[in-house]
Structures are given as structure tokens and as C-alpha cells.
Amino acid sequence: MKTFKAGMIGLGTVGVGVYKLLQSFNKIKIENIAVKNINKKRDIENFNTNLLTDNPFDIVNNPDIDIVIEVAGGISPAFEILSAAIKNKKHIVTANKELLAKRGSELFGLAKENNVTILYEAAVAGGIPIIMPIKTTLCANKINKIAAILNGTTNYILTKMAEKELSYETALKQAQDLGYAETDPTGDVEGFDAAYKIAILSTISFNKKIDINKIYTEGITNIKPQDIKAAKELGYTIKLIAMGQLLDDGRVDVRVHPMLVAKKHLLAKVKNATNSIMISGYPVGDLVLTGAGAGAEPTSSSVVGDLLTLTSELEISDYPLPLTKCKHDENAVQIDIGDTYNEYYISIQASNNPGVIGIIGTICGKNNINISTIMQKGIDEDNTAEIVVITEKSKESDVKNALENLLKSDSINKINSLLRVMN
């Protein structure tokens, strides 16, 4: 059995997990590991510090190294490091979702020119196998829709807000204490992490390059306890949903935002830090994959799985895993959120005056919006009431126009919330 030499970029939580797991496989030998701080103590028993370097180019320029494992994250210097590695004919295994979402097209182009492979199972959903199944087992299918919970931090927060009736701030603090959320949770709670992941999934599923800058992205920071409570009364739960859809005319609809998800829906049952991905395609129909979407052990499972798959191919071929090569040369035509059609949950704060519900109904009607449910949530001390509306499927731009018109009415104080609905 041939032994392959690998170099690692990064030795944080995921890197440590990868290093420990690789000790069980003699097929892959870690030659060097590039880190920012060589003197930092590592949670690895009997660790050989001679493996460490603070210059990643020691690794990518080493002719003895066959594979570069990148688990450091970020755009720079990761892009420059991996570009150099590819030009030096080294295969890549990475968990870097942001890099692939923003500059993956350039890296895959370089890999094609240099006949090397980039594997990235760990970049999308931690331990859930999704990239390789789409590229291999499901390659006979036309995938037309993905709906997914791709961020464990936000799912944990929303779960605790619903089950324990916590405020957003309290649930976030709990997630931070448990290590689910970073000290600066912006990437998670504002939806950016999920956007990177749905960009990657949509690109490989629809065989069209997705522009991350054209993905409508909305996080969970404005979700209020009263929204959670109203959703529950109406038979829904709120989740941060990453969605990609191939439309009949060939355009794509890719977005990330909170949604009211009907309790009967499978995604409504996904709780805490768990991830779940629903794929719809022909002829396979609907598939659901659920599991741990982050953490050292699940993520290292995917990284090492990619490594073992790659090295098995390299033993028998100088053109490994042809099905995994980049095939998306066409840029997707992505539709604007204003052109999408959804059902909507709208919370309106209105004066407790006769005819207010009639005003809401009239303005919605003038903007081509049918109301399926409307209810008043009591009267506040200032003689205003919260009125909750669920619409039938409507165009986003029509809904936004209706809200602007509502705010011009003397009877409407403010729009508390606007959320889309998944049934």
C-alpha cells in the first residue's frame, strides 16, 4: 500500500480533529502543518511540534507533498496558498465554504488546467455527506430544488426561543456558552454562513455558477418572541432556510432568510444544532439528509473521508475522480427577491379603530394579495393592537408595495415583522 504525504494549513478545532482521526490510517502521513503561532499549546497527546511551520508556502512548495489539506478558513491568504499548491500539481481537500463560494470558480479553473482534484465535502454540512452524492450517485438526476437548514447556531437559537420562550439575546448567549456561536456571531446570525453553503450546493446541483453577491441574505436578529409565539399558534415554527431552485425558464432562485415552516414539514422537526438538507429531483423524487453540520468530529469525518477517497483513486489513476471535476462553466441568471412568489406572515401594529381590518384587506387586494388568515392579538395599553396576516402566494414586490401603502394610513402605526412561509 502506497503512503501519501499531506500538508495541513491550520490546526484549530477542525484541524486538531482531522489530525487525530488520521492517526488511525497509515495510508496518509502528515508531513507539515502550517499555523500562525507555533508556540500555542495543542490538544493532541504526544504531539510532535517539529511538524509545525509558520510559513504555509513551505508546504505548497514541498515536492514530496501530494495533498494539501486546508482547514484554516477565510479568503486570504487561503486563496494564494491553494492557488500555489494547485500550480505545483497538489490535490486539495478543504473545508473552506467562504473561499469556495467567493473564489471557487478561479480555483476550480486552475485545478482543471493542472489536472488536480479539489474535494470539499466538509465545506457545506459538516458530517453530512452531500457533495459527493450529488456529483456521483445522483448525477443521473435533474435536481430542481434544495431547501435546507445549514447553520447549527441559528437553528439552536430559534429552537430555544420556541421551546424555552427565551429572548434572542438570551438564546444567543446560551449558544455562545456551549461553543455553538462565536464571540462575534455575525457570520451565523446574519445568514452569511448559510449563504456560502447554498451557493456551493446550488452551483453543483444546477451546473451553473452562482454569484454569492446576488443571493438575498437575511438573518435572524430581528425575530421577536411574539413572532415565535404567533407562528406556534398558527401551526408553524420559524427556521433559517437556505433555498435554491431551478425555475422552468432556466433562471435560478437562491436565497437565505427566516421562514415560518409548517409543523408537519420535515424541516420543522430539525432542532438544536442539527442540519438538514432536502433535495428534489427527477427521477429520484425527494431526499432528506440530516445530521451534525459542524464540530470537530463530524467535520473531520468528511475531511478524512475525502482524503481516503482521493488516495484510493491516486493508487490506480493519474486522473482521479473525474465525476467530481468542475462542470459548471455557465453563469446562472439569478432572480431578484422582488420577483419571487411566496406566502407571507405580516405582523402589523394598528390603532384599535373600527374598520382597520377592512383597510388592511383593501390595500392587500389593490396589490394583488389574497389573505388566507387574519387575527388580532388583543389590545395594548396605548389602544393599539397587533394584527397578524398570512397571505396566499404573492409576488414579493407586491407585498412590499402593500406595506408601503399601509404605512401611509393613519390607522397603521408600524410593520412589526415580515416573514415568508413554507408549507
Q: Which residues are catalytic?
A: 197
Cell of 296: 470537530
Question: Which of 68, 66, 67, 88 is CA-nearest to residue 78?
Answer: 68
Distance CA 196, CA 44 (A): 31
Question: Which of 335, 406, 337, 336 is CA-nearest to residue 369?
Answer: 406
Q: Are 327 and 206 in contact (CB under 8 A)?
A: no
Cell of 175: 449558544
Q: What is the dihedral of CA 407, 412, 413, 416, to 10 degrees?
A: -80
Paired residues of 216 in beta bridges? 255
Distance of CA 246 to the CA centre of its chain: 18
Question: Which of 395, 217, 253 is CA-nearest to residue 332?
Answer: 253
Radius of gyration of the chain (CA): 24
Question: Which of 87, 117, 128, 24 is CA-nearest to residue 322?
Answer: 117
Distance CA 195, CA 211 (A): 10
- Angular region, 235: left φ>0, alpha ψ -120 to 50, beta rest: left
Q: What is the H or E stretch that residue 20 is in?
A: helix 13-22
